[in-house]
Amino acid sequence: MGRTIAFFPEGAYGPTNNCVGIGNVLRERGHRVVFIIEESFAGTLEAQGFEERLMRLGPPPEEEEAPGQFWKDFVAENAPVFQTPTIEQLTGFIEPTFRALYDGAVYVDDRLTEIIEEIDADAIVEDNVIAFPALPASGRPWVRIVSCNPTEMVDPDLPPVFSGLPQADRSGWPEFWAEYDRVLTPLHGEFSEFCQSRGASPLPARAFIHESPHLNFYAYPSEADYRRSAGLGPLWHNLDSTIRSGDEDWASPPEIAEGEGSLVYLSLGSLGSADTALMQGLIDTLDASPHRVIVSMGPLHDQLELGERMVGAEFLPQPSVLPHVDLVITHGGNNTVVESLHFGKPMIVLPLFWDQHDNAQRIDETGFGVRLDTYRHEPDELTGAIDTLIGDQALRERLARVSARLQGRGGVTEAAGLIEQAAATRS
């Protein structure tokens, strides 16, 4: 019997696309799939054949918004903070971001409760970084997806989340955790009280989201995952990767299909690409190299100028592009990191904010790529890293083995099956 499965992703393309891949499998199996999305995303999921229910995380703007516009504006306003050390970003970016998310959770809680009852959801799948108490308070099975770096699931043997610190060297951990507690404990306590007032449990220590008592999963290839002091427990599943199938057929345009140099993919995500000075600097560096380049240009694409051996667009079907390239230059967003490993591509990671620093460090220390200082690296450091990674035959063979295993596992199908099991427990 078909169930009603509600997906509630964060208002960004990464978590939304992650949910779409799983939702497609569930829909093919005869289930009703409903996406609960911000009003700015209206029509985007409907165009892919899903039902939509709209909500807002704050009062409506005076003018029409582009999808995810609130966070694009928020990141743009805070962009100078990205050039500071991660410990300073706790005050300058992490706390303000969590506070904005908390304000949104308060604003939307009644609406979420209304939607869950209206569609009579058998299970609710959340891909967010903070709690929305309407989900656990509903009494229905709910599923937590973690589509951020695994340090979000705190463990004594893991570096502090958002720190970008190495696992092998703990010397910087105590100072970072002390500042984390100083900056975030007041907000954490306030948010935890709100959750309890709305029928949910208190928040776990140092976490802004609950563990689901029904099902939790994350997707981080085990070859890059962390050593933990203890297992996460039977309610947790690491699916390695939950990569959706290619959005569309894609082939290299004629202007870059052939020629000298390797084929490089540059993407700083929909938010990072809004830093046009940073993007243009990277484009100019690559233009002076012998390589051919595909550029995901983002919302300000009309302000960027590409070189002769380059092609780009505001949006690109990334899962369809990645199989064709030799190397990825990325901001370290979790989806791009996992997708690059899924297709066996080495990475140069230029982190900006949030868990991107943790992903950058992890890719560097596991040898799947190189972490560079985003704003202070020299052009020859970038081009030298490209040549080193592409010329590393042992790394290519290692990545090929990782890719073969991930593509053979079928994480999206496994995720759908686990969600089906959770939905079946609704009494």
Q: What does 55-80 look like in DSSP terms, one character per residue?
A: E-SSPPPSSPPPTTHHHHHHHHHHGG
> Residues 201-210: what's their mean pLDDT?
95
> Residues 381-387: what's their mean pLDDT?
97
Q: Which is it for the CA torsion 148, 239, 124, 29, positive or negative?
A: positive
Residue 75 is predicted with a pLDDT of: 65
Residue 16 is predicted with a pLDDT of: 86
Residue 301 is predicted with a pLDDT of: 84
C-alpha to C-alpha distances, 253 to 263, 273, 296, 389, 391, nearest whole angstrom: 12, 22, 14, 24, 25
Residue 172 is predicted with a pLDDT of: 97
Residue 283 is predicted with a pLDDT of: 96
* Rounded-to-integer distance, Cα 110 and Cα 184, Å: 26
Residue 68 is predicted with a pLDDT of: 59
Q: Has residue 32 got a pLDDT over 80?
A: yes
Residue 246 is predicted with a pLDDT of: 53
* Rounded-to-integer distance, Cα 350 and Cα 329, Å: 7
CATH topology of domain 4-244+409-424: Rossmann fold (3.40.50)
Residue 12 is predicted with a pLDDT of: 77
Q: 51, exposed or middle or buried, with CB in 10 Å at 0-12, 13-18, 19+?
A: middle
Tell me the average pLDDT of the chain.
Answer: 92
- What φ, ψ does residue 271 adopt, rounded to 5°? -90, -50
* Helix orientation angle between 411-424 and 13-28, rounded to the nearest 10 degrees: 70
Residue 300 is predicted with a pLDDT of: 79
Tell me if 143 sits within 8 A of 214, measured CB to CB.
Answer: yes
Instruction: Tell me which of 18-22, 253-257, 413-417 is least confident.
Output: 253-257
C-alpha to C-alpha distances, 258 to 178, 248, 261, 262, 275, nearest whole angstrom: 53, 22, 9, 10, 30
**What is the percent of the chain where pLDDT is above 90?**
77
Per the structure block, which two tokens stand in for 82?
């990205």
* Rounded-to-integer distance, Cα 198 and Cα 204, Å: 16
SS3 label, residue 344: coil
| Beta bridge partners of residue 294, listed in sequence order | 265, 311
- Tell me the pLDDT tens digit for each residue of 210-263: 999 999 999 999 999 999 998 899 999 999 998 866 556 788 888 888 878 899
Tell me if 55 sits within 8 A of 36, measured CB to CB.
Answer: yes
* Rounded-to-integer distance, Cα 197 and Cα 189, Å: 12
- How many H helices and E strands in the chain? 15, 13
Q: Has residue 200 got a pLDDT over 70?
A: yes
Provide the CATH number for the domain formed by 254-408 in this structure.
3.40.50.2000
Phi/psi zone of residue 14: left (φ > 0), alpha (ψ -120 to 50 degrees), beta? alpha
Residue 69 is predicted with a pLDDT of: 64
pTM for this predicted structure: 0.93
Q: At 275, is the pLDDT very low, low, confident or very high (cuts 50, 70, 90)?
A: confident
- What φ, ψ does residue 233 adopt, rounded to 5°? 110, 165
> Residues 299-304: what's their mean pLDDT?
84
C-alpha to C-alpha distances, 323 to 13, 249, 316, 341, nearest whole angstrom: 20, 11, 13, 11
> Residues 353-357: what's their mean pLDDT?
95
Residue 266 is predicted with a pLDDT of: 97
Q: At 94, is the pLDDT very low, low, confident or very high (cuts 50, 70, 90)?
A: very high
Give CATH 3.40.50.2000 domain extents, the chain.
Answer: 4-244+409-424, 254-408
More confident residue, 377 or 60: 377
Q: Which of 39, 165, 122, 155 is nearest to 420 (CA)?
A: 122
Q: 141, exposed or middle or buried, with CB in 10 Å at 0-12, 13-18, 19+?
A: buried
Tell me if 270 sits within 8 A of 72, measured CB to CB.
Answer: yes
More confident residue, 274 or 245: 274
Q: At 71, is the pLDDT very low, low, confident or very high (cuts 50, 70, 90)?
A: low
**What is the percent of the chain where pLDDT is above 70?**
96
Q: Has residue 74 got a pLDDT over 70?
A: no
Q: 154, exposed or middle or buried, with CB in 10 Å at 0-12, 13-18, 19+?
A: middle
Cβ-based neighbours of 392, under 8 Å, separated by 6 or more: 346
Q: At 63, is the pLDDT very low, low, confident or very high (cuts 50, 70, 90)?
A: confident
